[in-house]
């Protein structure tokens, strides 16, 4: 559709929309108001009918009571009839035999006002009164009746103000008995009444509202009430005519307005086509000072500035390439990966004139994760704010580049942007791999969409690190081969920088961790215990140190081999990690000796942790491969020494030595147990907040927040009666290498090996 057609359609929608909506609103409002008023009238009429019938029934009941109480019942019955209180009176004995009947009574059947609603025709309404002797014995009944005839129906219609129809109360088909409706609408009223259930309101095709009333308790007559609609005649015809006239006027006005508006736009479109073909000298005539005129003037200024910008960009590109070597040396001199990647991305965007870009690295799960982005638009911009920009390998543009190892450039339909990637018109993406691995092929891959090559596997090539992607080159239709060469240079610098940072981080990790168990090593132990002691001293908290040694571990190596011994050490480290909290630190000090640091833990909590660790290694043998590869189950126990800062030492080394001495006490006590170091005789006094009426427990263990007492090593492990597993400040949590540490690994500490 042309612009003129779209403008015409838009004007018609704007002009006719309110008119059509207004007409629909008026029609719907009139119909709703009419239905509401008619329903309300029928509700009032139904209430009036019930009131009138109830009043008639009370009158008949009073007449029957008067005859029943009179001594001369025939005279009383005649008087009731003469006064018009009832049309007929019937007196029966207890056997049902008629003893008196006033002449001229209505035909049967009579409907009892007090009886339940029944199915059948109604000829009269009746009320009964019981006859009894002085002793209360039944003598019979007196029944007073009033006929239900056209006059009665007419009186109900006059009282209610609506048309009233009396039915024969047959289940099917419904037949009319008496009605005040005109003969032309009776059939429509009966048909509508046959569709009603209960006392709902419905509308007939000729515009009448119908409602059924009864039969029910207190109102035994099957009646139909109806009222005519109050909607003006010809309403919808008038509304339709108004819409037709408004449509004709709007079409004429829209065609004229679109014709006047699109003429200067046609000239502007022609100028844009010439500029797109490379003619930056094209200018558009400015014919008015309105928005279109200002647009033409802005287009002329844009073409002039674009020509100047293209010339400057062409000149600066060669200068930027000359500085790439210096830029590479600068980027290789730092280990801040985020800073390196951001400098590379900024330089690549400046060198190519791209609008936006991103650097994505392959994580351990084989997914590309954005490390830094700039100027992204669309879904990727939102992901950048939430930190969740992740692209699976083989998905979209960058996923296909990472999976195939081939650079790609081309155009993308903005409506078919892959999920998680930015909206763009053109793109260029180059993979980069670790130095020394096979890089991407030299063939330039082009494509018009984000799909990967057919048959390619969604897995990164060997050594793949990530992808450098740029979007929407400013001042040009799309990226060219020169941009591809430039981007490959930046991708090479990114690969070197990422590889250097990862090698540096791995060296840091190896220098602080034990390769067999994955626990912290002795070097990090020295740094950590000093830091934890300083923290505990500064905040007045306790720090528990546990030294653990596997019992008779030399026998395991001699009996099953060193491979089985390594498996025992690794499994022991795993179980130990499962029994401590995330804030606790676990170390392998050397050989079969381990150390635990438990911040903010007193001797009682440390003893509970020791009990758990002993049970964890004692209760379940460790499966390993013995000599010849045969599977063996090795039972292992552990001895533990416990020391608490500041009760057993003021410095980290002192506490560690005290725990080591307690370990030897546990060994001397028969192994597979724990001991607490003896308190220092010269331990400095310090004030600790003590709750009111707090006392030192009988086991003599120092508590956090309680006065210190001398602690002696006991021959058997303490098992306080009130200790519960949940009371220990230890819980599961991973222990592994973290950031920090030196650049190289040092030897194990010069500790003397003692037989244990």
Residue 77 parent element (H or E): helix 73-82
Q: What pLDDT, on the 0 to 100 scale, is given for residue 28? A: 80
- Round to whole Å and give the CA distance between 449 and 674: 68
Q: In the structure encoding, which two tokens stand for residue 236, read together?
A: 């919808």
The yes or no reply on domain 35-228 and CATH 1.10.286 is no
Where exactly are the structural domains of the chain?
Answer: 35-228, 236-315, 323-504, 513-727
- 173: cis peptide before it, omega within 30°? yes
**Number of helical (H) and strand (E) elements in the chain, helices listed first:** 16, 24
CATH number for the domain whose boundaries are 236-315: 1.10.8.500
CATH of 513-727, one of 3.40.50.410, 3.30.70.270, 3.20.20.70, 3.40.50.920: 3.30.70.270
With residues binned 3-state (H G I as helix, E B as strand, rest as coil), the percentages for the chain, rounded to 5, are 45, 20, 35
Q: How far is CA 584 from the centre of its chain?
A: 35
Low-confidence stretches of the chain (pLDDT < 50) are 381-386, 439-457, 685-756
For residue 47, how many other CB atoms are within 10 A of its CB?
12
Helical ranges in 161-234 per DSSP H: 186-194
Common-topology check for domains 236-315 and 323-504: no
Are β-strands 124-132 and 110-112 bridged in parallel, bridged antiparallel, or unpaired? parallel
SS3 of 645-701: the string is: ECCCCCCHHHHHHHHHHHHHHHHHCCCCCEEECCCCCCCCCCCCCCCCCCCCCCCCC
* Superfamily, domain 323-504: GAF domain (3.30.450.40)
Q: What pLDDT, on the 0 to 100 scale, is given for residue 9? A: 79
3-state secondary structure of 470: strand
3-state secondary structure of 361: strand
Query: Exposed, middle or buried: residue 542 (CB in 10 Å: 0-12, 13-18, 19+)?
Result: buried
The residues, any chain, with a CB within 8 Å of residue 388's CB and separated by 6 or more, are none
Are β-strands 593-599 and 426-433 bridged in parallel, bridged antiparallel, or unpaired? unpaired
Reported residue count of the chain is: 756
The gap between the terminal CA atoms of the chain, to the nearest Å, is 92
CA torsion sign for 289, 291, 292, 296 is: positive
Taking the whole predicted model, whether its pTM rises above 0.75 is answered as: no
- 217: cis peptide before it, omega within 30°? no
The residues, any chain, with a CB within 8 Å of residue 244's CB and separated by 6 or more, are none
Q: What pLDDT, on the 0 to 100 scale, is given for residue 532? A: 95
Q: What pLDDT, on the 0 to 100 scale, is given for residue 235? A: 67
Task: List pLDDT tens digits, range 626-639.
Answer: 887 888 999 999 99
- Round to whole Å and give the CA distance between 182 and 351: 93
Q: What pLDDT, on the 0 to 100 scale, is given for residue 437? A: 63
Within 13 Å of residue 387, how many CA atoms lie on the same side as its CB?
0
């Amino acid at each position: 559709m042309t612009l003129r057609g779209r403008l015409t359609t838009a004007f018609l929608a704007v002009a006719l929309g309110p008119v059509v909506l207004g007409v629909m609103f008026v029609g719907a409002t009139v119909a709703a108001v009419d239905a509401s008023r008619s329903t309300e009238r029928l509700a009032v009429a139904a209430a009036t009918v019930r009131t009138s019938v109830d009043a008639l029934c009370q009158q008949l009941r009073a007449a029957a009571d008067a005859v029943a109480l009179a001594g001369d019942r025939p005279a009383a019955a005649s008087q009731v009839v003469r006064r018009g209180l009832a049309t007929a009176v019937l007196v029966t004995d207890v056997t049902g035999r008629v003893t008196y009947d006033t002449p001229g009574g209505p035909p049967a059947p009579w409907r009892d006002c007090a009886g339940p609603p029944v199915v059948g025709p109604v000829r009269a309404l009746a009320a009964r009164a019981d006859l009894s002797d002085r002793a209360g014995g039944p003598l019979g009944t007196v029944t007073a009746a009033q006929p239900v005839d056209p006059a009665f129906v007419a009186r109900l219609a006059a009282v209610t103000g609506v048309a009233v129809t009396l039915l024969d109360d047959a289940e099917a088909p419904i037949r009319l008995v008496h009605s005040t409706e005109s003969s032309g609408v009776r059939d429509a009223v009966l048909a509508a009444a046959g569709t009603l259930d209960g006392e709902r309101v419905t509308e007939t095709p000729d515009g009448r509202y119908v409602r059924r009333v009864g039969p029910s308790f207190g109102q035994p007559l099957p009646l139909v009430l109806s009222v005519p609609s109050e909607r003006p005649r010809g309403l919808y015809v008038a509304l339709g005519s108004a819409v037709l006239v408004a449509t004709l006027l709007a079409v004429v006005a829209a065609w004229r307005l679109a014709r006047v508006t699109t003429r200067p736009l046609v000239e502007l479109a022609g100028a844009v086509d010439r500029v797109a073909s490379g003619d930056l000298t094209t200018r558009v005539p400015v014919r008015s000072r309105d928005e279109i005129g200002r647009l033409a003037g802005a287009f002329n200024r844009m073409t002039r500035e674009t020509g100047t910008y293209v010339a400057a960009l062409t000149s600066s590109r060669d200068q930027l390439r000359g500085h790439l070597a210096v830029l590479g040396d600068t980027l290789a001199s730092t280990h801040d990966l985020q800073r390196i990647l951001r400098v590379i991305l900024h330089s690549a965007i400046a060198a190519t004139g791209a609008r936006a870009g991103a650097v994505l690295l392959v994580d351990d799960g084989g997914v590309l994760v954005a490390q830094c982005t700039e100027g992204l638009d669309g879904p990727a911009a939102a992901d950048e704010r939430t930190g969740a920009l992740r692209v699976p390998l083989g998905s979209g543009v960058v996923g296909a580049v990472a999976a195939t190892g081939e650079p790609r450039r081309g155009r993308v339909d903005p409506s078919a942007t892959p999920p998680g990637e930015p909206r763009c018109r053109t793109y260029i993406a180059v993979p980069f791999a670790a130095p020394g691995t096979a890089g991407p092929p030299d063939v330039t891959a082009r494509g018009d969409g984000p799909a990967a090559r057919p048959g390619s596997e969604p897995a990164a090539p060997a050594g793949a690190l990530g992808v450098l992607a740029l979007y929407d080159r400013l001042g040009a239709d799309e990226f060219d081969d020169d941009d591809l060469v430039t981007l490959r240079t930046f991708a090479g610098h990114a690969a070197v920088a990422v590889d250097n940072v990862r090698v540096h981080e791995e060296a840091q990790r190896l220098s602080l961790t034990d390769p067999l168990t994955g626990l912290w090593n002795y070097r990090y132990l020295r740094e950590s215990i000093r830091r934890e002691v300083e923290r505990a001293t500064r905040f007045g908290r306790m720090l528990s140190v546990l030294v653990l040694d596997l019992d008779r571990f030399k026998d395991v190596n001699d009996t099953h081999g060193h491979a089985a011994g390594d498996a025992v050490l690794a499994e022991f480290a795993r179980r130990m990690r499962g029994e401590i909290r995330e804030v606790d630190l676990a170390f392998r000090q050397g050989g079969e000796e381990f150390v635990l640091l438990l911040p903010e833990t007193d001797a009682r909590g440390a003893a509970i942790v020791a009990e758990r660790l002993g049970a964890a290694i004692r209760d379940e043998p460790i499966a390993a491969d013995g000599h010849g590869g045969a599977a063996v189950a090795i039972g292992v126990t552990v001895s533990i020494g416990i020391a608490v800062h500041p009760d057993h030492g003021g410095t980290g080394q002192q506490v560690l030595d005290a725990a080591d001495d307690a370990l030897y006490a546990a060994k001397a006590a028969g192994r597979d147990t724990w001991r607490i170091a003896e308190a220092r005789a010269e331990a400095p006094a310090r004030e600790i907040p003590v709750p009111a009426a707090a006392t030192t427990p009988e086991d003599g263990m120092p508590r956090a927040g309680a006065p210190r007492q001398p602690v002696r090593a006991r021959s058997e492990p303490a098992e306080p009666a009130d200790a519960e597993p949940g009371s220990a400040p230890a819980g599961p949590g991973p222990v592994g290498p973290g950031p920090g540490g030196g650049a190289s690994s040092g030897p194990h500490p010069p500790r003397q090996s003692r037989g244990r």
